[in-house]
Structure 1
Amino acid sequence: MTASRDTSPLPTGHHLTRRTVVAAAGAGSLAVVLIGCGSGDDSGDDSDGDSGKGSSEPAGGKKKDGGGAAAAVLARTADIPVGGGKIFKDEGVVVTQPTKGRFKAFSNRCTHKQCPVTSVEGGTINCPCHGSKFDIADGSVRQSPATNPLPPAEIRVEGDAIRLA
């Protein structure tokens, strides 16, 4: 048996393992995904069709609040039917109005298998994958197989504008 010379750039006693290489590749891939998600490009679709020109709000329907953060108008209160709701797929939320003037928001992912919910009808938020139904007032399970309620989402109602908090 012949001895091989170690030409690795690592200090003596350090060896690359398959686990180290896989972990480094995974971390690099995650960094690329996170950079892509945080591009800061606000050129997305305006929910109210206003480009912000000639308006006191910056482009994209965003308004600075007292803390300096900007929150886009998700919907107008008139867009959310009393006793129903509206799903905002891109934002990952469902906004409901269980009773007149009372607005609630929840995750749009079913707690059973994480399928996106697709309708709000008859006082429930409905998942098409396995038939789970959630109450529009509190997100509680009204029909299984889901056993956990929809997680609440934070919104602010400012006049007739509904914004993610």
Structure 2
Amino acid sequence: MTSESVQPVSKPSRRSVVAAVGAAGLAVALTACGSEDDASGSSTEQGAAGGGATSAAGGGAGGTALAKTADIPQGSGKVFSDQKVVVSQPAAGDFKAFSTICTHRDCPMIDLKEDTLSCSCHGSQFSVLDGSVKKGPATEPLAAKQISVSGDSITLA
């Protein structure tokens, strides 16, 4: 047998672990901030695929092209989650738009069934036809958004 000396395994100090975790968190946060440009490009592609928007109509300072008028069902609407807006058609040829941010606690909403937009955070429900509260706890209506309709294109102002 040999008498080798056994060195104790050194463990990192608590301070080293906390510093490493903090550095990793900072790196993740900086990476997320740096990828913001990539996210804006994908929202345009997703909006075009999901909403029938044309890039030629929304390319200038006139706003973001959302959809064709035929894409918005009468008596209901369509949510554009990247733009945080819902566009509805209360009556034939009459188009309205509202924010999809719940007025109760600022939760984003995407759950649209018929003419009702529901918040998954606390259960508030809103009419997409006029923005009114159908069910609380929210007490304030949805914020109206400006859109323009030109021919068969709907553009977010």
TM-score normalized by the length of structure 1: 0.62
Structure 2 unaligned blocks of 5 or more: 1-28
Structure 2 counterpart of 1:45: 45
Distance 1:42 1:122, change over 3 A: closer
Structure 1 counterpart of 2:94: 102
Measure, in 1, the Cα distance between the counterparts of 2:144 and 2:47: 22
Measure, in 1, the Cα distance between the counterparts of 2:67 and 2:48: 8
Structure 1 counterpart of 2:70: 78
Structure 2 counterpart of 1:61: 55
Q: 2:85 aligns with which of 79, 85, 93?
A: 93
More helix by share: 2
Structure 1 unaligned blocks of 5 or more: 1-28, 50-59
Tell me the percent identity.
45
Shift of 1:74: 0.5
Measure, in 2, the Cα distance between the counterparts of 1:107 and 1:84: 15
TM-score normalized by the length of structure 2: 0.65
- Structure with the greater relative contact order (CA < 8 A, sep ≥ 6): 1 or 2? 2
Aligned length: 123
Q: 2:104 aligns with which of 85, 109, 112?
A: 112
Structure 1 counterpart of 2:12: none
Q: 1:137 aligns with which of 129, 134, 144?
A: 129
**Deviations 1:64-94 (Å, cap 9, x if unpaired)?**
79xx624332111111111111111111111
Structure 2 counterpart of 1:20: none
Asked if the contact 2:47/2:80 (under 8 Å) is kept, the reply is no
Measure, in 1, the Cα distance between the counterparts of 2:48 and 2:84: 18
